[in-house]
Amino acid sequence: MKKVAVLACLLGLLGAIPAQAAELKDVFGREVPVGKGRPTLVLYANRGSREELRQHAYSFIYDLREERPIVLIHVDLRDVPGLFKGMARGEIKKSHRESIEHMKNIFRQHGESPPQELEASLYMVADSKGEPHQSMGLRKGFDQVVAQVLSPSGQEVARGPFPESARRLGESMASASEGLSTLRVVDMAR
């Protein structure tokens, strides 16, 4: 009986993800459209994992292009002193613009036109208190990017360290966008 109650509670929490995500705004004040018909790749990063993310994320996102995902990058600012959080937000905005240009160049290098929705597919959120990171079990100053795949309805279908779990995350994204995946939480951190 206790297990059923715990499972019901967990399913209730997972069901609340789209409602919470609907209120989420990026560094430009745009609403992040998680759970609104497209799968989502969520990357949890911080200042210390920035280079690792840059080295691997662009090619991974390009490989997912047929799934047309929303890409949401939560940037943990817990380790940034309060006086510098405004500057950090400015750096995130600059990084967003640079990332869009870099992605456009990757498409062109492959002989493809960048998709029109590219700019409306990348969202960066500055998390001053790090609540999303804490909910993923990431402590202040973590050194490993973690990725999460959400279905078009906003339900978690996979998570794991990035880039180590990239192949399995990509497979989960494909199955989620094809509608083959129901509520299937996969912990790839093993």
The 10s digit of each residue's pLDDT in 81-134 is 988 999 999 999 999 999 999 999 999 999 999 999 999 999 999 999 989 999
Domain assignment present for 168: yes
Is the backbone peptide bond immediately before 163 cis, with ω within 30 degrees of 0?
A: yes
The 10s digit of each residue's pLDDT in 23-72 is 689 999 999 999 999 999 999 999 888 888 889 999 999 999 999 999 99
- Nearest Cα to 158, choosing from 41, 12, 19, 8? 41
Total count of residues recorded for the chain:
190
Cα 182 from Cα 175, distance rounded (Å): 9
Q: Please return the burial class of 55, using the count of CB atoms within 10 Å of its CB with bins 0-12, 13-18 and 19+.
A: exposed
Domain assignment present for 142: yes
Domain assignment present for 183: no
Number of structural domains in the chain: 1
Q: What is the pLDDT of residue 30?
A: 96
- Nearest Cα to 118, choosing from 133, 107, 134? 107
Domain assignment present for 138: yes
pTM for this structure? 0.81
Higher-confidence residue: 180 or 120?
A: 120
> For residue 36, what are the contacts with CB-CB under 8 A and spacing of at least 6?
18, 22, 152, 154
- Domain region containing 62: 2-177
Give the number of C-alpha atoms closer than 13 A to the C-alpha of residue 103, restricted to the C-beta side.
Answer: 24
| CATH code of 103's domain | 3.40.30.10
Domain assignment present for 87: yes
Does 7 score more than 90 pLDDT? no
Q: What is the pLDDT of residue 2?
A: 47
| Average pLDDT of the segment spanning 164-188 | 71
Domain assignment present for 70: yes
Higher-confidence residue: 52 or 20?
A: 52
Higher-confidence residue: 18 or 156?
A: 156
Domain assignment present for 50: yes
Domain assignment present for 127: yes
